[in-house]
Amino acid sequence: MKIEEIKKLLPHREPFLFVSEVTKISEKRVEALYHVTGTEYFFPGHFPNYPLMPGVLLVEAMAQTCGILVLTQVPEARGRLTLFLGIDKVRFRQQVRPGDTLKITGELLTLKSNIAKVKGKVSVGEKIACEGELLLGFLDKTK
């Protein structure tokens, strides 16, 4: 799935879109990439002379990727707005620097009413940069 299709699903736009392409998607699992160029808006301030992608944006990349999973694979979520409701068990394990390519994976754990619990992971090469569990809710866009 290329960026044009991603933008049809997610309301996010640059500079706050952290999914470059979706490489695999199935009923309960998604894999995506984000190419960290080094020109992103946050690098001049985080940190000068040692640019790092902020951890909260790694969590956002997981939420966006898992949002794509829910919006395409959960019939009740199709055509709705997916909102990030909560995080649990998040750990940061590896720095993300300009030039890195993030592999972002998501797995649907549970679905209750209009809330999905998902597990996300961000890797750089073979090293895990961030992982955790997220809650995503979906609601009608008109509310």
- The pair of three-digit structure tokens given for residue 122, joined into one six-digit string: 């961000």
Q: Is 35 one of the annotated active-site residues of the chain?
A: no
- The pair of three-digit structure tokens given for residue 135, joined into one six-digit string: 């809650």
Q: Which residue has the tokens 């972002």?
A: 104
Give me the catalytic one of 7, 12, 28, 46. 46
Q: Which residue has the tokens 């592999």?
A: 103
What are the percentages of helix, strand and coil residues in the chain, rounded to 5?
Answer: 20, 40, 40
What DSSP assignment string belongs to 96-126?
A: --TT-EEEEEEEEEEEETTEEEEEEEEEETT
Evaluated on CA atoms 31, 28, 66, 68, the torsion sign reads positive
- Tell me which residues are annotated as active site: 46
